[in-house]
Amino acid sequence: MKKWLRKKTLATVVCSFSATASFGFSPVQAATETSSPIKHTVVIFQENRSFDNYFGTYPTAPGFHALPGTPKDVKNIPAGAFNPDENGNPVYPYLFPLDQLQTKDVDHGFDHMMEMVDGGKMDKFYLVNNRRGAGKIAMGYYDYHAIPAYWQYAQHFALADNFFQPVYGPSTPGALYLVAAQSGTKDQPIKGDPTPKNEPYGGDNPKSALSYNLTYKNIGDTLSEHNKTWAWYQGGYTANDNTYSPHHNPFQYFQNYEDGKYKNNLKDTNDFVKDIANGKLPDVSFLKAGYPEDEHPGYSTPEGEDFTVKMINAIMNSPYWKDTAIIVTYDESGGYWDHVAPPQVTPGPDGLQGNGPRIPALVISPYAKENYVSHVPYDTTSILKFIEWNYHLPTLNNRDASANNILDMFDFNHPNFAAYMYNDGSLTPAKTYGTPVKVQLNNALLGVSTPGEAPFIDTKGNVMVPLVDFVRSINGRILGNNNENDQNNDKNQNNNQNENDRNAQNDGAKDEISFKFNGKPVHLKTQTWVSPTKQTYVPLKSLVDALGWSMQTENGVVTVTSK
């Protein structure tokens, strides 16, 4: 298997924005009624992480400053939790250092994972993995230093801390459950990662070794039968290299796909951004990164979140954002320790046991609850349940029929249409209206709601920030003349403003700014400036003072710290 290490590249994110920044289309909606305002569902399906491996110390990790209102009842790693070694000595969970983002893979076979769970005791992850020298690695976890974007998405959208992989085992069963709520049949269950009969091949499945031609119905069949558009986008699908993994694409295991009937539904991830730009985003999309970016231990790292950020930013920077729900989750827990015992559910048509350990799950949408942690029990089939409910589709079998819908993670009555594009530093435009300056809120740069706009220092030394960016970054809502549910319609002002007038105090006049934060209105009078693109800028200090927060400048970065 090819070994990969994900490298952060500025070019990839910038290219994503250049491809999406100048959309000139209005998405054409088919005559499709949905049960919610969500018209487009995008599932980003990454690899091999348990909840504790990524969010086990959220939001209380040392050095992490959470936004006001962050839930404190997250099911994270309990104090004193451990797994015993061969001599009964405790092996405690530990934070991976930043120079150890790349680790060897840990065991995640079906039977071995059941052994790790040990009937719900969750006490044999070290022992089982130590047979191959990876016992200590299985007890490791990451925090916001390694996956800053995911922790910020949790701060601004909805996180589930009771979301389980649907069955034990590796990638293929989890992927099949995502699209069909079963992995093989009772007579021939799929517990491993076999090579599918149908092409293309690549990566760790170089040729057809086993022939699974499944004939039961999957969600693609159901969507097509009900005239809903859909696609599975996977990295490396059209590439002539080893970045593509056939056993990560569940549709290749089905007989319906061997004659090319659904060839237009199976695509490369490069096509996803193109389809957004061309106004052709399907009703339902599944995204699977290729080997360098899928976060799978051994050949990818947590920095594979770069792929997720790029895809999410492309959606947010398009007209599709207003009616899209993005679900970020994982195929399985990868053999990493998690302390929560999985519930045991009635087996489906394949007879396989489940649930397996917890996996991370985020819902990102204008309709997602903000800074929310859901404790409702879910598993991967809960995503199917949402799709079936939203698009008026029948269930596939008893597993998705009995699953909890993820509706607890939404608030359809109070959307926030201002995007929160995670900014890794690459979203700052090459030219600003004054002296460029980086503004950070707690542990992250201000999110971006208005591409092309950025903080700057004006001619009188004021740090000016786009109002909508600041308010969205604190999970607030602009009030007053600005529609609460359309924060991008900022104050209108003559576009031909002279360059010499570009400071906050050009005439001494002050405007009243109002926004809602933590359910309460905040009012202040301050100088404002409106950019040629009609975006309102406000002195950062006036916003910070109104909230009673603090700010300081160090090494050219202005950091705002919330209370």
For the stretch 517-532, pLDDT in tens is 999 999 999 999 999 9
Tell whether the model's pLDDT for residue 13 goes beyond 60: no
Same domain flag for 458 and 531: yes
CA distance 370 to 191: 37
- Beta strands, E only, 83-145: 83-84, 90-91, 94-95, 140-141
Report CA Rg, the chain: 24
Say whether 285 sits in a helix, a strand or coil. Answer: strand
Q: How many helices (H) and strands (E) does the chain have?
A: 14, 26
Given 364, 388, 412, which residue is the final one in a domain? 388
CA distance 358 to 184: 22
Same domain flag for 465 and 377: no
- pLDDT value for 100: 87
Same domain flag for 323 and 455: no
444 domain-assigned: yes
395 domain-assigned: no
Same domain flag for 379 and 490: no
Nearest to 57 by CA among 19, 18, 92, 17: 92
Report the relative pairing of strands 230-234 and 536-539 from DSSP bridges: unpaired
Tell whether the model's pLDDT for residue 22 goes beyond 80: no
253-287 burial code (b ≥16 CB/10 A, e <16): bbebbeeeebeebbbbbebbbebbbeeebbbbbbb
Tell whether the model's pLDDT for residue 184 goes beyond 60: yes
Q: Which residue has the higher pLDDT, 483 or 421?
A: 421
- pLDDT value for 481: 54
CA distance 517 to 486: 16
Say whether 16 sits in a helix, a strand or coil. Answer: helix
Angle between helices 148-156 and 305-316 (to 10 degrees): 40
Average pLDDT value for residue range 437-446: 97
Amino acid at position 371, single letter: N
Same domain flag for 515 and 374: no
Same domain flag for 379 and 477: no
Show the domain range for 291: 12-388
Confidence of residue 429 (pLDDT cuts 50, 70, 90): confident
Nearest to 255 by CA among 204, 202, 185, 309: 185
Average pLDDT value for residue range 269-293: 96
497 domain-assigned: yes
Nearest to 2 by CA among 305, 318, 176, 239: 239
Same domain flag for 500 and 372: no
Quickly list H helices, 303-380.
305-316
Confidence of residue 425 (pLDDT cuts 50, 70, 90): confident
CA distance 49 to 263: 30
Confidence of residue 500 (pLDDT cuts 50, 70, 90): very low
101 domain-assigned: yes
Beta bridge partners of 43: 286, 327
Same domain flag for 321 and 444: no
- Residue 330 has what DSSP assignment? E
Same domain flag for 508 and 371: no
CB proximity list for 66: less than 8 A, separation 6 or greater: 59, 60, 155, 442
Average pLDDT value for residue range 451-473: 97
Confidence of residue 267 (pLDDT cuts 50, 70, 90): very high
CA-based end-to-end distance of the chain: 48
Residue 114's CATH number? 3.40.720.10
Tell whether the model's pLDDT for residue 258 goes beyond 80: no
Average pLDDT value for residue range 227-238: 95
Given 331, 362, 388, which residue is the final one in a domain? 388
Q: What is the distance, to the nearest Å, from the Cα of residue 169 to the centroid of all Cα atoms in its chain?
A: 23
Centre a 10 Å sphere on the Cβ of residue 90 and count the other Cβ atoms it contains: 11
- pLDDT value for 199: 60
Same domain flag for 380 and 450: no
CA distance 135 to 536: 54
- pLDDT value for 426: 85
- pLDDT value for 32: 57
Least confident of 24-38, 206-220, 443-457, 458-472: 24-38
Given 353, 388, 423, which residue is the final one in a domain? 388
142 domain-assigned: yes
Least confident of 52-66, 215-229, 463-477, 482-496: 482-496
pLDDT per residue as tens digits for the range 56-71: 999 999 999 999 999 9
Same domain flag for 457 and 365: no
- Find out whether 302 and 57 touch, Cβ atoms under 8 Å: no
pLDDT per residue as tens digits for the range 155-174: 999 999 999 999 999 999 99
Confidence of residue 204 (pLDDT cuts 50, 70, 90): low
551 domain-assigned: yes
- pLDDT value for 205: 53
- pLDDT value for 198: 61
- pLDDT value for 485: 43
6 domain-assigned: no
CA distance 423 to 425: 5
Nearest to 518 by CA among 561, 563, 553, 551: 563
CA distance 268 to 246: 12
- Number of domains the chain contains: 2
- pLDDT value for 304: 87
Tell whether the model's pLDDT for residue 216 goes beyond 70: yes
Least confident of 242-246, 334-338, 467-471: 242-246
Confidence of residue 291 (pLDDT cuts 50, 70, 90): confident
pLDDT per residue as tens digits for the range 237-253: 988 677 888 889 999 89
Least confident of 91-95, 212-216, 320-324, 351-355: 212-216
Centre a 10 Å sphere on the Cβ of residue 115 and count the other Cβ atoms it contains: 16
Same domain flag for 237 and 293: yes
